[in-house]
Amino acid sequence: MNIMFNLNTERPIFPFTAIVGQEEMKLALLLNVIDPKIGGVMIMGDRGTGKSTTIRALVDLLPEIQVVANDPFNSDPVDPDLMSNEVREKIDNNENLELSVQKIQMVDLPLGATEDRVCGTIDIEKALNEGIKAFEPGLLAKANRGILYVDEVNLLDDHLVDVLLDAAASGWNTVEREGISVTHPARFILVGSGNPEEGELRPQLLDRFGMHAQIGTVKEPKLRVQVVEQRIAFDSSPIEFVKNYENSQSQLIQNIIQARQLLPTVHLDYELRMKISNICSHLNVDGLRGDLVTNRASKALASFEGRTQVSYEDIERVISLCLRHRLRTDPLESMDTGTKVKETFYQIFH
C-alpha cells in the first residue's frame, strides 16, 4: 500500500483505522463513499473532536476510478451523466478516448472562496474574439465524481451554500455570463463540518444533507488517554505510525470496493420500507428525502457487512443519522432529535 502524503505539508495522513471513537461520524462517511447517492453528510461537533482529521483520513480509503485522461471534469468514459460535453462529442464522432485511472479526489473548499472560484468563470473577451466558450473550471468541476469538503460550512455565505447544495442535488453546474452558458457534470459527495456554537445552518439547507452526524468530546478517561497517545505517536514518527496501520487500511479499502460492487444486489423488504416511511410520517418529516436516504443508507450498511438483505438492525443503526436533522424542533421539548427518532423507531418496530 502506498503511503499518501498531503501535498501542502508533505506528511502522511493520519490513518482512518487509527481513529479512536467517533463511530457515528466514521460510519456516515463510509456509507457515503459506498453509495454517493445518499447525499453527503453534515458533521457538527465541538472543537478538537477530530472532525477534520477524520474527514481527511478518508482520502486514503477512496477507491480508484476510470477517467478520461486530461479532462478537467474527471469524466466517466461510459456514463453520460458523468461526462463533459466535450467527451460526449468525441464519443458521438467515434473518436478514441485516452483513459487513465486515478483515486477519487477530495477537494477542500476554503471558507473565503468566491462564487467564481467555486463554479468557474467564462472569459467573455476570448469568447467574443475567438468565437469559443473559454471556460475556466472551478472547484465543482474538480470535485466531480469525488468529495467536496467544506469546513465550518455554517459560516459559509448562504448564497454559496445554496449553489453547492443545488449542484449536489442535480449533479450539474451551470455558469452563465453575458448570454453565454456552460454546463458540466458536478456529482460529488458533499461533506460539511462545523461547530454548533458558531451558528446553525438554516433548516431547509440542513435537510439537503443526506446524513447528519453529531459528535462530542470523548468523556471516558481511558479513551481520552488512547486518543492523546495515538496523536503523540503519529506526531513523533508519522511514517512509522502509518506503516503500523497498512494492513487494516488495506482491508478497509477492500471492504469498501466489495461493498460498492455488492450494493446493486442488496434487497430491502417491502415490510421494512413501509416501517421506515411509517417512522418518517409519524415524525412529520417533510418531503421524501428522509425515506429515500434511510433506504439507501441501510442498504449501504448491509453491503459493507457483506450481506444482500437489509435487517432490522441495519435500519436501527442508520435511522438517527438520516432523520435527526429533518425534525421540526420544539424549544419547549427537552428530548433531543436523535433520541426522539430512536424512540419512534422502537415504537414502530415493536
> What domains lie within the chain, and their CATH numbers?
22-63+104-215 (3.40.50.300), 263-349 (1.10.8.80)
pLDDT digits (tens, 9 = 90+) for 160-171: 888 887 888 788
Phi, psi of 64 (to 5 degrees): -85, 150
Sort strands 189-194 and 147-151 into parallel, antiparallel or unpaired.
parallel
How far apart (Å, rounded) are the C-alpha atoms in residues 92 and 6? 39
pLDDT at 133: 63
Q: What is the dihedral of CA 298, 299, 304, 305, to 10 degrees?
A: 80
Does residue 78 sit in helix, strand or coil?
A: coil
Give mean pLDDT, residues 284-307.
94
How far apart (Å, rounded) are the C-alpha atoms in residues 188 and 149? 10
Among 57-71, 196-210, 253-267, name the one with the lowest average pLDDT.
196-210
Instruction: Say how many C-beta atoms besides its own lie within 10 A of residue 19's C-beta.
Output: 17
Please, are residues 74 and 80 in contact by the beta-carbon 8 Å criterion?
no
pLDDT at 21: 79
Phi, psi of 281 (to 5 degrees): -65, -45
The pLDDT-based confidence of 301 (bands split at 50, 70, 90) is very high
Q: C-alpha cell of 87? A: 467527451
pLDDT digits (tens, 9 = 90+) for 143-200: 988 889 988 887 888 788 888 878 887 888 888 777 777 888 888 888 988 887 777 7
Please, are residues 135 and 155 in contact by the beta-carbon 8 Å criterion?
no
Q: Which residues contact 305 (CB under 8 A, 6 or more apart)?
A: none
Q: Which residues contact 350 (CB under 8 A, 6 or more apart)?
A: none
Give mean pLDDT, residues 24-43.
91
- Pick the residue with more confidence: 293 or 336? 293
How far apart (Å, rounded) are the C-alpha atoms in residues 98 and 75? 11
Cα–Cα nearest to 346, from 319, 327, 310 = 319
Please identify every residue annotated as catalytic.
289
pLDDT at 334: 52
Please, are residues 29 and 209 in contact by the beta-carbon 8 Å criterion?
no
3-state helix, strand, coil split of the chain in percent (to 5) is: 50, 15, 35
pLDDT at 252: 93
Q: Which residues contact 86 (CB under 8 A, 6 or more apart)?
A: 71
The pLDDT-based confidence of 277 (bands split at 50, 70, 90) is very high
Q: C-alpha cell of 161? A: 451554500
- Pick the residue with more confidence: 105 or 251? 251
The amino acid at 277:
S
Burial 139-171 (b: 16+ CB within 10 A, else e): bbbbbbbbbbbbbebbebeeebbebbbebbeee
How far apart (Å, rounded) are the C-alpha atoms in residues 304 and 259? 5
Q: Which residues contact 303 (CB under 8 A, 6 or more apart)?
A: 34, 259, 260, 262, 263, 266
pLDDT digits (tens, 9 = 90+) for 323-348: 988 887 654 455 678 788 888 888 88
The pLDDT-based confidence of 31 (bands split at 50, 70, 90) is very high
Q: For cell 462517511, what's the residue?
A: 29
Number of residues assigned to the chain: 350
How far apart (Å, rounded) are the C-alpha atoms in residues 173 and 141? 8
Q: For cell 451523466, what's the residue?
A: 81
